[in-house]
A and B are shown apart, each in its own frame.
Chain A
Amino acid sequence: MKPFTYERAKTPAAAAAAAMRTPGAKFIAGGTNLLDLMKLEIEAPRHLVDVNALKLDKIEATPGGGVRIGALVSNTDLASNTRIRRDYGVLSRAIVAGASGQLRNKATTAGNLLQRTRCPYFYDTNQPCNKRQPGSGCGAIGGYSRQLAVIGTSTKCIATYPGDMAVAMRVLDAQVETVNAAGTVRAIPIAEFHRSPGDTPHIETALAPGELITSVTLPAPIGGSHVYYKVRDRASYAFALVSVAAVVQRDGSGRVAIGGIAPRPWRVAGADAAMGQGAKAVAQPLLAGAKPTEDNAFKLALVERTIGAAIAQARETA
């Protein structure tokens, strides 16, 4: 690990200002992704701004009937919250489908959104990777790509966004609230938060340098049966090959977002519109224009089947 200086920020604006002031600074929350990457020197911040004392650890009601989740709420606390379990079950389910009990105790709402890809070439510093080292090439294209993305990729990067929580937030139309060093606040719709790789796969989100996430808001509950169906190589403690977040209403209509197949949580209006017409009809618009590799073409069939399984589960639990 490269040496770094460290400070504990006291207010969100001060944290954002500290991150802007010091070149090469990064926020640290739970540390479960950043420290992992720092040990491998894939990340090498020169200064860490600890955001744990910002008092952004509450879940509260919004005037519009929704909830505001503090950026520092732990994954365990979020998944366990009574209101989230009752009204936003897909979010609780997605969180407990990820990582381990120990990790979820430390992992935070903001840190989870910002977790980086698990592309094996990104992790192996002996391999070229445009995301880790812009312009160095992409080891995964033409390499071993079983876990990687089948849609939304570019000729520069085919990595997936690996997380589970954000897939549920995508289906719930969450907004990410931020503050910058000037004290300006804004709300970014989750649909615009994670970016497509294009020619700049190292730029992964809509956040500006030094911009701090303060909270995530969810609109008023939409009812329905909530399901998060995750398919992975072992029964627990593994990243998704394909995951489906679905909210299904009694009449069969609903919403669906897919994880494990794209550089962002993947949701398409045409798929929501096709809910109620069977898994094939729902999968088709989601996968239109997919460019799988020989290794990961299996994900196309898996998406359709997982959607089918998720809808069946939603009916059972309705």
Chain B
Amino acid sequence: MANVTEMEISRRGVMAVGAASAMLAPLPAGAQVPAPKAVPVTMKVSLEVNGTRRDLEVDTRTTLLDVLRENLHLTGTKKGCDHGQCGACTVMAGGKRINSCLSLAVMHQGDEIVTIEGLGTPEKLHPMQAAFIKHDGYQCGYCTPGQICSAVAVLAEIKAGIPSHVTAELTARPMVTGAEMRERMSGNICRCGAYSNIVDAMADVAGADIAGVKA
């Protein structure tokens, strides 16, 4: 490092911060070169959202997330990073949880989509929604709809026998344990750090006997 100029050092310093987060999950780059004139293309698509058929005509670039929020005004699904890193946009498509920000609306022709609004209502909460309230599984609440959609899917995935990184025996059925739930929820980031209460809520719904859970 003896003959590195001050500018290079500061560039390295700046990149070190940006780069560390990029390796965990890259962040969007800054300003872009102004786009040359290109013609937006629209297409028809129909989705089955929370049990109702919705016929739309959208720009091909529109993500499932933006269709839900901007076209259908289902604003429960949240936009966090918009790059598949935070999980705030998690919804079910065809019965499976996905990041709605990394999926184009036109790729979901005929698909059944379930959002947080479709899981339950304030009058008739889904058991997972009720458990999040009971166990205080959130603080600011921004990541919560994604956390709840994921949590519901995680219990279904364990039931279906899908293995995870912490499943000890690949050929045995995975169990509902704290370690399994934590690993499977790692695609949902909570900046308030409500994680332990989220696991408690999930254990409560699963009827799991997990050490330390105040069911």
A52 within 8 A of B: yes
**Residues A27-76 near B (CB distance < 8 A):** 28, 30-32, 35-36, 39-41, 48, 50, 52, 76
B18 touches A35 (CB 8 A): no
> Which residues from chain B contact A36 at a C-beta distance below 8 Å?
26, 83-84, 102
Q: Which residues of B contact A239 (CB under 8 A)?
A: 23-24
Query: B197 at the A/B interface (Cβ < 8 Å)?
Result: no
* Range class of the B interface residue count: 35 or more
Is A238 in contact with chain B by the CB < 8 A criterion? yes
Q: What CA separation (Å) do A96 and B166 show in the bound complex?
A: 9
B83: which A residues are within 8 A, CB to CB? 36, 39
- Is chain A's interface secondary structure helix, strand, loop, or mixed overall? loop
Distance to closest chain A CB from B153 (angstroms): 7
Whether the Cβ atoms of B164 and A96 lie closer than 8 Å is yes
List B1-55 residues whose CB lies under 8 Å from chain A.
1, 8, 11-12, 15-16, 18-20, 22-33, 35, 38-41, 43
A251 interfacial by beta-carbon distance below 8 Å = no
Please tell me if the beta carbons of B61 and A3 are within 8 angstroms of each other in the complex: yes
With A and B bound together, what is the CA distance between A234 and B25 in angstroms? 11
B107 touches A52 (CB 8 A): yes
Within the complex, what minimum Cβ distance (angstroms) separates B156 from chain A? 11
Name the A residues within 8 Å of B165 (CB-CB). Answer: 93, 96-97, 236
Q: Which of A15-23, A79-87, A191-199 sits within the interface?
A: A79-87
Q: Which residues from 92 to 150 on chain A have a C-beta closer than 8 Å to any C-beta of chain B? A: 92-93, 96-97, 99-103, 105-106, 118, 120-121, 123-126, 139, 142-144, 146-147
Task: Find chain A residues with CB under 8 A from B153 CB.
Answer: 101
Within the complex, what minimum Cβ distance (angstroms) separates B191 from chain A? Answer: 15
A99 vs B85: C-alpha distance when bound (angstroms): 9
Instruction: Compute how far the CA of A108 lies from the CA of B161 in the bound complex, rounded to whole angstroms.
Output: 20
Least Cβ distance of A78 to chain B in Å? 11
CB distance from A68 to the nearest CB of B (A): 21
Residue A298, interface by CB 8 Å = no
Q: Which of A92, A101, A143, A147 contacts B157 (CB 8 A)?
A: A101
Which A residues are CB-close (under 8 A) to B99? 32, 102-103, 106
Q: How far is the CA of A65 from the CA of B204 in the complex (A)?
A: 45
Size of the chain A interface, CB-CB below 8 angstroms: 57
Whether B170 sits at the interface, judged by CB under 8 Å, is yes
Question: What's the count of A-B pairs with C-beta under 8 Å?
Answer: 168
B41, B154, B167, B187 — most chain A CB neighbours (10 Å): B187
**B19: chain A residues within 8 A (beta carbon):** 120, 144, 146-147
Q: Are A80 and B161 in contact (CB under 8 A)?
A: yes
Cβ-defined contact, B26 with A123, below 8 A: yes
Q: What is the CB-to-nearest-CB distance from B64 to chain A, in angstroms, rounded to a whole number?
A: 10
Q: Is the CB of A85 within 8 A of B170?
A: yes
State whether A99 touches B187 (Cβ < 8 A).
yes
Q: Is the CB of B103 within 8 A of A3?
A: no
Query: Taking A125-B29, A236-B165 as contacts, is the C-beta distance between A100 and B186 under 8 angstroms?
Result: yes
B184 and A144 within 8 A (CB): no
Q: Is B87 an interface residue (CB 8 A)?
A: yes
Bound-complex Cα distance A239 to B63 (A): 25
Partner of B102, one of A86, A106, A238: A106
Q: Report which of B16, B40, B41, B84 forms a contact with A144, defined as CB distance below 8 A.
A: B16
Cα A307 to Cα B99 with chains together (Å): 34
Complex A-B, nearest 3 residue pairs according to Cβ-Cβ distance, in ascending order? A100-B187, A236-B186, A120-B19
Beyond A76-B162, A106-B103: 19 further Cβ-contacts under 8 Å? A5-B41, A8-B109, A39-B83, A85-B170, A85-B171, A96-B163, A101-B187, A103-B187, A106-B98, A106-B99, A120-B22, A146-B20, A146-B23, A233-B24, A236-B182, A236-B186, A237-B24, A239-B24, A294-B1
**6 pairs across A/B with beta carbons < 8 Å?**
A4-B61, A35-B102, A102-B84, A126-B31, A238-B23, A238-B25
